[in-house]
Chains A and B, each alone.
Chain A
């Protein structure tokens, strides 16, 4: 959404600013909640309540905002994420020596994420999702992935709505689920705390925070290493992830979709024209 000038922008968005500030205050007042689940820990960060409050405030529940505000808010997300990413960069820069020591492993770290495509895509297609599944499974669909999918396929595409859906699922469940996964994988005893810490840096700050906090609880002696590795790996994944998603993950998912779609088409068979229309 573009405005003729700043004044016009403020006229539309002022309510969003105030309500977001209010939600921030409420969310931070509730604070980080730690729930003990068996031997593990579920950590709910303030941002989680902020997202839920935001969703409820919109045109479908509380009607504080109409569609115009909803559209404008996505731009505010893109702006707001920037200082957050800068802060991540600063953390990594301050730990530069440690990054250099970790060396080549950290530099190629982002490629591990690609396994998500192979877990997600066939399942999404079996559940009956069409090209939505490309957006949904090419990445974790955090803000910058969403932006890349939108620029690759267009905002009104099926791919973009699949991406958005997983963005929502990730926003609601991701923080909790990454905390649980970190605890479970950590408790197997199969993995080195350094590798565990590093692997939480999947390129999504809040998932990394939740997973590495759970690991730090699990391995108190390695807490500093885990946090430093996680933050460094997340910064690396945030940088390389943009290119990996753009040049590797999205084309790979698209290609894989075409192949799987042909295979599934044999079973669906009945409407070949409809199937053909779906293939680019």
Chain B
């Protein structure tokens, strides 16, 4: 996908975030705008990095790391990044993604309802195992390292 398409689609999603933050959290669009612009800018850098780096990593890996680096204590832009994104509710960028995800799986609705009960059982088992595994492992490692 071309960079121009990325910019356009990110702007579409950015409008969704502005809308969600305004209706859901009562933060005006003007107040959310700098944060949304920063999120889009960092994403674009991640897209470029994913394109030019010799080793193949998913774009979201770059997104996660770049966001972290931009807001880390040693980052020269940390203050502006943190203060402008602070007003964006945690889940606000996600609501519009949910709408797209719903549309993306809407053609499988019938199959899902038909086979659904099996996948519900399996899904619950996977979620339980993942959370419990995570909790046991974290309790162990936090104890071993003396944090708790």
Q: Nearest Cβ distance between residue B49 and chain A, in whole angstroms?
A: 12
Inter-chain contact B46/A82, CB cutoff 8 Å: yes
Q: Which residues of B contact A (CB under 8 A)?
A: 1-2, 4-6, 8-10, 12-17, 19-20, 23-24, 36, 39-40, 42-43, 46-47, 57-61, 63-73, 75, 78, 81-82, 85, 88, 90-91, 93-110, 112, 115-116, 118-139, 141-142, 144-145, 147-148
A46 CB to closest chain B CB, in angstroms?
Answer: 5
Could you say which of A75, A147, A181 contacts B127, with CB atoms under 8 Å apart? A181
Q: Is the CB of A198 within 8 A of B43?
A: no
Q: How far is the CA of A169 from the CA of B121 in the complex (A)?
A: 9
Residue B126 contacts which of A73, A104, A120 (CB distance < 8 angstroms)? A120
Name, among A80, A137, A235, the residue most crowded by chain B CB atoms within 10 Å (CB to CB). Answer: A80
User: Is A81 on the interface with B (CB-CB < 8 A)?
Assistant: yes
A residues 58-98 in Cβ contact with B at 8 Å: 58-61, 65, 67, 69-71, 73-94, 96-97
Kindly report which residue of chain B lies nearest to residue A92, judged by CB atoms: B68
* Residue contact B135 to A195, C-beta cutoff 8 Å: yes
Cα of A65 to Cα of B104 in the assembled complex, Å: 10
Residues of chain B within 8 A (CB-CB) of A88 are: 64, 67
Is A29 part of the contact surface with B, judged by Cβ < 8 Å? yes
From known contacts A6-B8, A83-B10, infer whether A23 and B99 are also in contact, taking CB-CB under 8 Å.
yes
Give the docked Cα–Cα distance between A71 and B103 (Å). Answer: 9
Q: Could you say which of B40, B82, B93, B100 contacts A77, with CB atoms under 8 Å apart?
A: B100
Give every chain B residue within 8 A of A167 (Cβ-Cβ): 105
A-B contact count (CB 8 A): 416
6 other A-B residue contacts (CB within 8 Å) besides A194-B148, A195-B138, A207-B127: A58-B107, A83-B40, A87-B39, A94-B82, A96-B73, A185-B131
Looking at the complex, which one of A46, A71, A78 makes contact with B24 (CB distance below 8 Å)? A46
Query: Interface with B: A33-41, A124-132, A257-265, A272-280, which one?
Result: A124-132
CA of A177 to CA of B6, assembled, Å = 34
**B142 and A77 within 8 A (CB):** no
Q: Which residues of B contact A136 (CB under 8 A)?
A: 119, 122-123, 126
Q: A116-B133, A239-B64, A239-B65 are in contact. Are A83 and B108 (CB under 8 A)?
A: no
| Interface, chain A (partner B; CB < 8 A) | 2-3, 6, 9-10, 16-17, 19-21, 23-25, 27-29, 31-32, 45-48, 50-61, 65, 67, 69-71, 73-94, 96-97, 101-105, 108-109, 111-120, 123-124, 127-129, 133, 136-137, 139-141, 143-144, 147-148, 162, 164-171, 173-174, 177-178, 181-182, 185, 191-192, 194-196, 198-202, 205-207, 209, 211, 233, 235, 238-239, 242
For the complex of A and B, list the 9 residue pairs with the smallest distance between their C-beta atoms, beginning with the closest.
Answer: A54-B102, A58-B106, A89-B67, A115-B133, A119-B129, A112-B137, A93-B71, A169-B123, A116-B130
Q: Which of B10, B43, B125 contacts A120 (CB 8 A)?
A: B125
Pairwise interchain contact B132-A47, C-beta atoms closer than 8 A: no
Interfacial chain A residues near B148, Cβ < 8 Å: 192, 194-195
Q: Once the chains are docked, how many angstroms separate the CA of A37 from the CA of B137?
A: 28
A-B contact pairs, 16 of them (CB 8 A): A23-B102, A51-B102, A55-B106, A56-B102, A60-B110, A61-B109, A69-B103, A82-B43, A82-B63, A83-B13, A89-B64, A90-B82, A119-B129, A140-B126, A173-B127, A174-B127
Q: Once the chains are docked, how many angstroms separate the CA of A28 from the CA of B20?
A: 6
A242 to B60, CA, bound (A): 9
Contacts of A198 in B (CB 8 A): 134, 138, 142
